[in-house]
Amino acid sequence: MVVAGRASLQDLGRHGAEQLGLSVNGAADQLSAMEANALVGNGLDAVVLELLVFDVELLATSVALVAVAGAEHQLTVGGRDVLPHQPVVVLPGERVRVHLLGRGARCYLAVNGGFAAPRLLGSAAPDPIVGFGDLVGVGDRLPFRSRFGGLSHPFSGIPLFRFPRTARRWPAEWVVEMTAAPVAGGVADPDVLCSGYVVDTMSDHVGLRLGGAALLPRPGGEPVSRGVPVGAVEVPPSGQPIVLLRGRLVTAGYPVAAVVTTSSLALLGQARPGQRLTFRWQERGAAVLRWRRDLAQIADLADAVARCFTAVGLGEVLVDRMAEADPVRGVSFS
């Protein structure tokens, strides 16, 4: 068995704790995490398994309804190829193998009912800075709570779902949209960002380090440390920009050249080292509309899944109908 890359349990992040200096954290590609949850009838914020540049096998110890969304991947269940980005029934003893293909960096594996995980201030998202949450490793057991009791197709025995894909298409050119940052605490010429950058190998959940043309701070000294949003394009004295990600430090004293839009941040959650990025200015209003369209697609998918599950007699697995007393099941990470 081969396991390469990193796996962690994630949700959409820890809101309300930034006053304590705890960054929001959570799934790097928020849209794919939501999509995986939508496909198995979960609330969009349920705990999922985030797989970063991976090749992984899970052994189901009970029946489960799972879905994988995100980076291009090949999914096999019990040795048979299954359609990616769809709900899949997994029987006890079957192995689920997720194998990364060409494009994207992260996949999200959701199970109906959501994975059980410890929480800090309401969220399961690991925060490496304060030492909360661990990577998931070989041999770990991942319990979940689900009312899914199995489903068999009347003729083939293997149920097959085919919901419309909301997954992004992988463009030849990765366009990252950004809005203007306040002039105070900015850089001399933010348009330099439009010259194109390559993702550096030093990147992590704190920041996406970029290589390319250097930016210069505005004359007049360093800005006072101030809160900076996720997506801020920070410029340290080396001039090489860093896009701050969900594990950023909440305050920063470096100049900020621009802010990547919420929608484009989901795309950056799929950027691997070496990826070439094209930055483009966007109006704030258009950026907000784009994000709302992204969310509307996920909401439409969740509606379609709910209607379909109800029609085939699976209505009770939909998360809002679940009771506290549901059985705890598990998959092993092998």
Q: Which is nearer to another protein, 262 or 275 (CB)?
A: 262
Residues 116-135 that bind another protein (CB under 8 A): 120, 127, 129-132
Q: How far is the CB of 258 from another protein (least distance, A)?
A: 9
Q: Which stretch binds another protein (CB under 8 A): 44-52, 53-61, 253-261, 322-330?
A: 253-261
Q: Which is nearer to another protein, 152 or 225 (CB)?
A: 225
Task: Kindly state whether residue 262 participates in binding another protein, applying the rule CB under 8 A.
Answer: yes
Give the binding-site size for another protein (rule: CB under 8 A).
54
Tell me which of 83, 162, 225, 303 binds another protein, using CB under 8 A: 225
Q: Which is nearer to another protein, 23 or 62 (CB)?
A: 23
Q: Which residues pair with 19 in a beta bridge?
A: none
- The beta strand positions in 83-134, using DSSP E, are 88-90, 95-100, 106-111
DSSP state of 321: G
**Cα–Cα distance measured from residue 113 to residue 99, given in angstroms and rounded to the nearest whole number:** 24
How, if at all, do strands 174-180 and 276-281 pair?
Answer: parallel
Would you list the DSSP string of 129-190? TTTB--EE-TT-EEEEE--------TTTSS----PPP-PPP--SSEEEEEEEPPSTT-BS-G
Residues 148-207 that bind another protein (CB under 8 A): 179, 181-182, 184, 202, 206
**Cα–Cα distance measured from residue 119 to residue 17, given in angstroms and rounded to the nearest whole number:** 13
Length of the chain: 334
Task: Kindly state whether residue 292 participates in binding another protein, applying the rule CB under 8 A.
Answer: yes
Q: Which is nearer to another protein, 175 or 202 (CB)?
A: 202
DSSP, collapsed to helix, strand or coil, labels residue 296 as helix
DSSP, collapsed to helix, strand or coil, labels residue 94 as coil
**Cα–Cα distance measured from residue 259 to residue 282, given in angstroms and rounded to the nearest whole number:** 10
Task: Kindly state whether residue 17 participates in binding another protein, applying the rule CB under 8 A.
Answer: yes
Q: Which is nearer to another protein, 62 or 262 (CB)?
A: 262
Q: Which stretch binds another protein (CB under 8 A): 68-76, 81-89, 159-167, 245-253?
A: 245-253
**Cα–Cα distance measured from residue 3 to residue 55, given in angstroms and rounded to the nearest whole number:** 5
Task: Kindly state whether residue 229 participates in binding another protein, applying the rule CB under 8 A.
Answer: yes
Q: Which stretch binds another protein (CB under 8 A): 9-17, 144-152, 160-168, 311-319?
A: 9-17
Tell me which of 295, 304, 306, 308 binds another protein, using CB under 8 A: 295
- From residue 37, give the alpha-carbon distance in Å to each of 24, 34, 47, 184, 215: 19, 5, 8, 40, 40
Q: Which stretch binds another protein (CB under 8 A): 40-48, 106-114, 145-153, 289-297?
A: 289-297
Tell me which of 80, 119, 276, 284 binds another protein, using CB under 8 A: 284
Tell me which of 115, 174, 291, 333 binds another protein, using CB under 8 A: 291
Host H or E run for residue 38: helix 30-39
What is the sign of the dihedral through the CA atoms of 33, 35, 37 and 40?
Answer: negative
- CB burial of residue 19 (10 Å; 0-12, 13-18, 19+): exposed
Task: Kindly state whether residue 81 participates in binding another protein, applying the rule CB under 8 A.
Answer: no
For residue 333, give both structure tokens.
Answer: 């990470």
Tell me which of 9, 228, 317, 331 binds another protein, using CB under 8 A: 228
Q: Which stretch binds another protein (CB under 8 A): 53-61, 138-146, 153-161, 222-230?
A: 222-230
Q: Give the interface with another protein as residue ranges (CB under 8 A).
A: 15-24, 120, 127, 129-132, 179, 181-182, 184, 202, 206, 221-222, 224-232, 236-238, 248-254, 259-262, 284-285, 287-288, 291-292, 295
